[in-house]
Structure 1
Amino acid sequence: MFFRSFFDENLAQMSYLIGCQRTGEAIVIDPARYTKPYFETAKNEGLKIVAAAETHIHADFLSGARELGVHNNANLYLSNEGDENWKYEYLDNLNYTLLKDGNEFSLGMINFKVMHTPGHTPESISFILTDKGGGSQHPMGIFTGDFVFVGDIGRPDLLEKAAGIAGTAESGARQMFHSIQKFKKLPDFLQVWPAHGAGSACGKALGAVPMSTVGYEKLNNWALRTEDEEEFVKILLSGQPEPPKYFVMMKKLNKIGPELINQEQTVQWLDVSELEKFGNETVLLDTRSASDFAKAHYQGTINIPFNKSFTNWAGWLLKYDQNIVLITSEKNVKVIKDSLHSIGLDRVVAAIEPALTLENEDRVESYGEITVQQLQEYLQDDSYYLIDVRNKSEWEEGRIAGAHHNMLGVLVDQLDELPKGKTYLMQCRSGARSAIAASLMQANGFKNVLNVKGGYLAWTKGKFPITH
């Protein structure tokens, strides 16, 4: 058997290529939208991808299952659990097999047994793998999707918080408790292959180690050690981070079928004078570092630095009905486009080199930084207004006295509630999210903005007072 995992660090997403070396057939488990890496690996190993399987309808990235089904005639193995709200709608003219609890399917000498594991979502299933080609009658591991992670489990509140389906958080938590009881009956030696690692918003405390075992999780995962259902539900539902706005769109698109990637789409390169023609239907997205952006940037642009957090904040802050003009160097355009494609933000229509945007001096602006020592002084002056853009759980754990909470992902929706005529002090944990917030403020007409260097960490390190 051939086994290879793939990790998208921008989404903290894991997918897997499994191949039967006797028959040369391969399957992708929870494929990402950008499928090229799977085919490159398969080709190098003498394998042909003939199938794809999904553990559930994903909410945090755009699936590549339809892409594989349409372009490569792959057979799709998909869940048929859950009610009518959790059925795939794009399967006409494709090869597919719908799966229920206890079903089995094989790829060459590799067997997969389906276990229904609801909780994260009603249709969630896991795949228990047995390598019969290696002569074993015992399973090797389980693909758990967003059910069991290393050190944590999937959150059950996304349907309620992100999709607005009232009452599903508690019922999902109770389903998760009973799914965990089934999981605990599996052999301790079974390897656990989850769909996410640390950094994903699909749980609250995911480990950074890419795999585990059932036995190890029984000993160390809080969810498997909690025996009381009421306590389990209370712990699971408390402290979950805000789900990114784009989760709603991902759930919808993965259900009805993502658009196929247009490989012929090209990016138009612009001159600075051409930026004037873009109106509110277009977002100007500067992907430089926050420090470079702060020194000088084109008016009306927002800054999301291209790093591990880029895709998450793009999903929070960009709209699916807007065209996107990238401000970045030519060498970065493809990888940035691929990151945006991974969550369905496909409307990248043009790009411009950063240096060109600074040539029109009349349209260039900047914002400054202050230290926490300066912040302490400014808080005594009511002409300054401190905005904390951290998550709700961070805010509740401790905050700077006098701060106002406007989480970064919803800041733009709350701008009308801000007092006018102030100098706005933007603060987060370390200064990174508040830098994005500073760009949002200026792009929306709030020009007097300062970023708090070092954020809450620097404030607490300086032993300044906090409140709860």
Structure 2
Amino acid sequence: MLLERIYDHDLAQASYLIGCQAAGQAIVVDPRRDIQVYLDLAARNSMSITAVTETHIHADFLSGSRELAAATGATLSVSAEGGADWQYAFEAERLSDGDTITVGNLTLTALHTPGHTPEHLSYLVTDGAVTDQPGYLLSGDFVFSGDLGRPDLLDEAAGGVDTRYEGARQLYGSLRDVFLRLPDHLQVFPGHGAGSACGKALGSLPSTSVGYERLYSWWGPYLALGDEQGFIRELLDGQPDAPAYFGRMKHQNRQGPAVLGARGPLAEMDATTVAAGVEDGSLVLMDTRPVEAVHSGSVPRSLSLPNPGKAASHGAWAYDPERDSTPIVLLAADAEQAGDYWDHLIRVGLDRVVGYLPSIEGLPAVTPAVVSPAELASTDRVLLLDVRGRGEHAAGHIAGSRQLNAGRVLWNQDSLPREGTIVTYCQTGVRNSVASSALRRAGFTVTELDGSYAGWRRWQEGQGHDAGHSAAASGVA
């Protein structure tokens, strides 16, 4: 038996290729949309991908299940659970609790584990060449290393109203009636790691076990005492902001993401063509340089993606393909780097990438407005906007600031002032660069706080102020 974890650090998302060497067959669970990694892995192990499945209707990335099934001819299976409102809208085999998928000597048994979502399935994996008992659990967004899948995303991102309470009750039931009835030795492989917005305290470990979580998880004592209400309160308290694009992912994954097919390398574009497109608004440039380089000069209405490892996350914050169909040009050194960025972007449905440019030389230039911490108090502004998460803002912020997560600014334009200057900040400046570029492109007048909150705190300390006190949520300046 072969079990390989394919991890996307951008979205903190894990997919799995599980293969039977004797039969030369493999199944992929929860694949991402750039599928070459699975094709290469199967080929290296002399296997054919004969089955594809997923644990649930994802909200944080666009599923590659249809893409991979179309490329390989594999049988695609999805959940039949969750009721009428949670049925997939595309053609695929349907799995209910207890149904199985066979791949050579391997058997995957579906377990209905609702809570994170109503239709959620986990998969027991049995290696029939060794035993008739399962040894592994692919838990998807049910149980993570050290945490659980949050049950409030349907409210936060998909338009639900108070579904979090029923989801939390379902999650409690799934733990009690399914997870804790499994043997302690069972190895658990979750769908996400630290950094994912699908939970509030995910660990970095790639796997755990039923026994370890039973003994050491935060939720174990609540289950041991039968304290459902205490469990629900603890589970729902302090969940992080969910990016607004999660709602689009949920809808597209239910309907079925478009199948892209084979993608050739991106072509290098002519600077004159891009300059003309930027001027008339028929192209948008995604500037992938660091924040400092962008502050030295960028392209009008370009979108800032200053962290290459977070191109998917940040790209989905700054560009909404449901409202915007402008073709994208990537700032990249060469076709290989451009292809890597493109792979990240299609994971969140930013498909309209038409080429790349190695330099902004020859393009119209603009210098984004930046204000130093020393100048902040005297800067004329209508709003000081903190684009960090709720928890960060609550732990300490600049007096008078309003919190609005960077992953939500594009979807909350009606709540922001169109007249006057908005001064924005995050923790160090990276998220701020993404959010401010999106707001500028949307027509807002934005000035970024140089160094963001960390820079402001250093300046306060340099002035002899008690930065911890003056930055506190009490609002002391």
TM-score, normalising length: structure 1: 0.90
Quote how far apart the aligned CAs of 1:90 are. Answer: 1.8
Residue in structure 2 matching 1:333, options 322, 331, 338: 338
SS of alignment partner, residue 219 of structure 2? helix
- Tell whether the 8 Å contact from 2:436 to 2:446 is kept in structure 1 after alignment: no
Change (3 A) 1:419 1:347: closer
Which string of whole-angstrom CA distances, capped at 9 and with x for unpartnered residues, describes residues 21-61 of structure 1?
A: 22111111111112211121111112111111211111111
In 2: Cα distance, 1:366 partner to 1:381 partner: 15
**Correspondence for 1:212:** 208
Change (3 A) 1:444 1:19: closer
Which string of whole-angstrom CA distances, capped at 9 and with x for unpartnered residues, describes residues 218-263 of structure 1?
A: 1222123323111111121222222222212222222222111242
**Correspondence for 1:174:** 169
In 2: Cα distance, 1:379 partner to 1:192 partner: 52
Matched residue type, 1:161: E
Residue in structure 2 matching 1:395, options 393, 396, 401: 393
In 1: Cα distance, 2:118 partner to 2:154 partner: 10
Quote how far apart the aligned CAs of 1:264 are. Answer: 4.6
SS of alignment partner, residue 363 of structure 1? coil
**Correspondence for 1:430:** 428
In 2: Cα distance, 1:29 partner to 1:80 partner: 16
- Tell whether the 8 Å contact from 1:201 to 1:243 is kept in structure 2 after alignment: yes
Equivalent residues in 2 for 1:32-181 (5 A)?
32-91=32-91, 96-134=92-130, 136-181=131-176
In 2: Cα distance, 1:259 partner to 1:392 partner: 34
In 2: Cα distance, 1:346 partner to 1:419 partner: 30
- Tell whether the 8 Å contact from 1:399 to 1:456 is kept in structure 2 after alignment: no
**Correspondence for 1:355:** 360
List alignment gaps of at least 5 residues for structure 1.
none
Change (3 A) 1:131 1:264: closer
Quote how far apart the aligned CAs of 1:309 are. Answer: 2.5
Change (3 A) 1:364 1:41: same
In 1: Cα distance, 2:116 partner to 2:292 partner: 39
Quote how far apart the aligned CAs of 1:416 are. Answer: 6.4
In 1: Cα distance, 2:455 partner to 2:214 partner: 34
Matched residue type, 2:66: R
Matched residue type, 2:429: G
SS of alignment partner, residue 222 of structure 1? coil
Quote how far apart the aligned CAs of 1:70 are. Answer: 2.2
In 2: Cα distance, 1:200 partner to 1:6 partner: 15
Quote how far apart the aligned CAs of 1:421 are. Answer: 3.8
Change (3 A) 1:415 1:273: farther
Quote how far apart the aligned CAs of 1:419 are. Answer: 7.3
In 1: Cα distance, 2:142 partner to 2:455 partner: 33
Change (3 A) 1:20 1:410: closer
- Structure 2 residue 366 is matched with structure 1 residue 364: yes
- Structure 2 residue 254 is matched with structure 1 residue 258: no
Matched residue type, 1:355: I
- Structure 2 residue 270 is matched with structure 1 residue 271: yes
Quote how far apart the aligned CAs of 1:467 are. Answer: 3.1
In 2: Cα distance, 1:179 partner to 1:170 partner: 14
In 2: Cα distance, 1:226 partner to 1:435 partner: 42
In 2: Cα distance, 1:63 partner to 1:343 partner: 9
Change (3 A) 1:107 1:295: same
In 1: Cα distance, 2:6 partner to 2:57 partner: 19
SS of alignment partner, residue 259 of structure 1? coil
SS of alignment partner, residue 409 of structure 1? coil
- Tell whether the 8 Å contact from 1:442 to 1:449 is kept in structure 2 after alignment: no
Quote how far apart the aligned CAs of 1:280 are. Answer: 4.8
Matched residue type, 1:205: A
In 2: Cα distance, 1:253 partner to 1:446 partner: 29
SS of alignment partner, residue 435 of structure 2? helix
Which string of whole-angstrom CA distances, capped at 9 and with x for unpartnered residues, describes residues 252-282 of structure 1?
A: 2222221112425664543343333354564
- Structure 2 residue 235 is matched with structure 1 residue 236: yes
In 1: Cα distance, 2:267 partner to 2:109 partner: 48
In 1: Cα distance, 2:71 partner to 2:380 partner: 61
**Correspondence for 1:300:** 301
TM-score, normalising length: structure 2: 0.88
In 1: Cα distance, 2:160 partner to 2:400 partner: 35
- Structure 2 residue 413 is matched with structure 1 residue 414: yes
Q: Which moved more, 1:322-331 or 1:53-62?
A: 322-331
Quote how far apart the aligned CAs of 1:154 are. Answer: 0.5
In 1: Cα distance, 2:234 partner to 2:378 partner: 39
Q: Which moved more, 1:99-108 or 1:378-387?
A: 378-387
Quote how far apart the aligned CAs of 1:410 are. Answer: 2.9
In 1: Cα distance, 2:348 partner to 2:332 partner: 20
- Tell whether the 8 Å contact from 1:162 to 1:243 is kept in structure 2 after alignment: yes
Q: Across the two proteins, how many residue pairs are aligned to each other?
A: 455
Which string of whole-angstrom CA distances, capped at 9 and with x for unpartnered residues, describes residues 132-163 of structure 1?
A: 212x2332110000000001110111112211
In 1: Cα distance, 2:166 partner to 2:36 partner: 38
In 1: Cα distance, 2:282 partner to 2:168 partner: 40
